[in-house]
Amino acid sequence: MHPLNKNKIINDPVYGFLTVPSALVHDVIQHPYFQRLRRIRQLGLSEVVYPGATHTRFHHALGALNLMVRAIETLRSKGVDITDQEAEAAWLGILLHDVGHGPYSHTLEHTLIEGVSHEYISTLIMHRLNKEFGGKLELAIRIFKGDYPQKPFLTQLISGQLDMDRLDYLQRDSFYTGVSEGVVGGDRLINMLNVKDGNLVVEEKGIYSVEKFIVARRLMYWQVYLHKTAIAADELLIAILQRARHVATNMASLGSYHPLIHFLGKTISAEKFDEESLDLFVLLDDHDIMTAVKAWQFHEDKVLSTLSQAMLNRNLPKIVIQDKPISAELGSECLRKTRHRFPDMQDNEAGFFVRTGLLENLAYKPQKGGIHILRKDGTVCDAAEASDNHNLHSLSEAVTKHFITYWP
């Protein structure tokens, strides 16, 4: 591991400072694949509800890196053996965990690149970087993929029920939205981390911080990630892209350059996601989507232009969210109102205006590894068992809701 010859720090309103712990990490940050994340917002369209939530995936990745640096420091101070090479691999793994995200990921995953997860694309990009950097990311990739059985806790720090990713995004999203419900004691949680039999554990005295963390995650889901107005905006953008693909045999308005055109022309599945697709994918960012919507506001297709204008002027569909499925009656009623508003709407266009879907909130998944508590007697148990209250059990039950968007 090559240390940076300077104490490289970056201002961060959430933690005060972000650190860049090694020269290799610095070089990876400088790479265009990573710099692209500056142009992708962390919370996509949430800004229509929370005007402060304009932070980027670039910022989040640096934040998660910062937490990883501290987590590894803490574990080492408790006697956990982590080599310099492993530490750097863990830093790189968390830094790049989201590098495969496209703009408005959740929207795109439902439209342009159905079935190709961002984790998969992250891995593709990491392999490319590994080549460019002469194999120096080998170990980072193994840890990222969960292929390092010697020390599974390194993978768990990147991807688990209490990983540095979640720990950063809860704090950062809470900070930028101003939703205090998401505040968690990140410092405290990291201080409580330890390793037992190769697995990440939280010391017993940290059980209440874990409880707080799980509750905060649940509340952030409802108040931010699944906020009804943000969902309505998401559905609108999905409809726009679906319509664009539907009508847009001629993409002249987007110009000769436009990575989006590649993805609009056809649905790309994981097996079709070839080198050319990746070349174009790494060009994509929020600007491409939004400039396309801006161009489409003048498109001759009435549906496309109407929806695009609505998006730009934050004229969003109304949304109903409820516990039970959307009944046929409610569906008809919503359709009727929407027709009243858009009298020219054709039957086969209704699906772009009236849309239904599911929301799921599952704050804690014990079956997906869970969060393990290290008792003072040295035994390990699941957090839900360790709690002196049954509320963690409740929080490991998924809550599902149904929604319909329409235009009254």
Asked if residue 305 binds a copy of itself (CB under 8 A), the reply is: no
185 binds a copy of itself (CB under 8 A): yes
Q: DSSP 3-state assignment of 127?
A: helix
Binding mask 2-21 for a copy of itself (x = CB under 8 A): -----x-xxxxxx-xxx---
Q: Does 84 bind a copy of itself (CB under 8 A)?
A: no
Question: Residue from 1, 23, 80, 183 that binds a copy of itself (CB under 8 A)?
Answer: 183
Write the single-letter amino acid at 279.
Answer: D
- Determine the interface stretch with a copy of itself among 117-125, 284-292, 331-339, 349-357 (rule: CB under 8 A): 284-292
Question: In angstroms, what is the minimal distance from the CB of 326 to a copy of itself?
Answer: 17
> Which C-beta is closer to a copy of itself: that of 147 or that of 298?
298
Distances (CA, A) of 1 to 89, 93, 165, 280, 359: 10, 15, 23, 33, 44
Structure tokens at 185: 């004691």
Q: Are 15 and 177 in contact (CB under 8 A)?
A: no
Choice between 43 and 238, CB closer to a copy of itself = 43
> Residues 223, 228, 230, CA angle at the centre, nearest 5°?
90
Q: Pick out residues in 106-165 that bind a copy of itself (CB under 8 A).
A: none
Please name which of 22, 50, 226, 237 lies closest in space to residue 140, comparing C-alpha atoms: 22
**Closest CB to a copy of itself among 16 and 343?**
16
Count of residues that bind a copy of itself according to CB under 8 A: 85
Give the residue with the Cβ less far from a copy of itself, 148 or 370: 370
Binding of a copy of itself by 38 (CB under 8 A): yes
CA–CA dist 295, 299 (Å, integer): 7
Among positions 83, 272, 312, 379, the unique one binding a copy of itself when judged by CB under 8 A: 312
Q: Which of 95, 395, 406, 407 binds a copy of itself (CB under 8 A)?
A: 395
Which residues ranging from 254 to 273 are in contact with a copy of itself (CB under 8 A)?
254-258
Stated as kind and residue range, the H or E segment containing 355 is strand 355-361
Q: Does 238 bind a copy of itself (CB under 8 A)?
A: no
What whole-number distance in Å separates Cα of residue 403 and Cα of residue 231? 9
The answer to whether 376 contacts a copy of itself (rule: CB under 8 A) is no
HEC profile of 62-96: HHHHHHHHHHHHHHHHCCCCCCHHHHHHHHHHHHC
User: Contact with a copy of itself (CB under 8 A): which of 22, 40, 47, 268?
Assistant: 47
Is 298 a binding residue for a copy of itself by CB under 8 A? The answer is yes
Q: Which residues contact 287 (CB under 8 A, 6 or more apart)?
A: 39
